[in-house]
């Protein structure tokens, strides 16, 4: 695997552990890893799709975690997608 700036499995594991620890109201959420190339063929790495009823408190905690890892969130009606931006 190249050293491109992509979210790798080890980073995803750390991120998910942090989300589970700091956002207890997400218990029961469906979390899916989506290869970025499914949406953007030239990209490597993954998007994390969190499908849940997200409370204001969880959203605030999630936002802090995501920003702390220098990632971005796309907020949808019933889910949040976490991913790296491409410069």
Please tell me the predicted confidence (pLDDT) of residue 86.
Answer: 61
Please tell me the predicted confidence (pLDDT) of residue 68.
Answer: 94
Residue 3 belongs to a domain = no
Domain count of the fold of the chain = 1
Residue 5 DSSP code: S
Under the banding of pLDDT at 50, 70 and 90, the label for residue 22 is very high
Write the CATH number for 34: 3.30.980
Residue 4 belongs to a domain = no
Kindly report which listed range (12-21, 41-50, 56-65) carries the lowest average pLDDT score. Answer: 41-50
Going by their DSSP bridges, the two strands 46-51 and 30-35 should be labelled as antiparallel
The helix-helix angle for 9-22 and 56-68 (nearest 10°) equals 150
> Over the chain, what is the mean pLDDT?
84
Is 52 in contact with 29 (CB distance < 8 Å)?
A: yes
Question: pTM of the full predicted structure?
Answer: 0.80
């Amino acid at each position: 695997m190249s050293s491109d700036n992509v979210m790798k499995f080890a980073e995803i594991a750390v991120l998910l552990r942090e989300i589970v620890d700091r956002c207890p109201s997400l218990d029961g959420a469906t979390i899916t890893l989506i290869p970025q190339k499914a949406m953007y063929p030239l990209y490597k790495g993954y998007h994390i799709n969190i499908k849940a009823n997200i409370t204001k408190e969880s959203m605030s905690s999630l936002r802090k975690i995501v920003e702390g890892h220098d990632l971005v969130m796309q907020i949808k009606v019933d889910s949040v997608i976490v991913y790296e931006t491409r410069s």
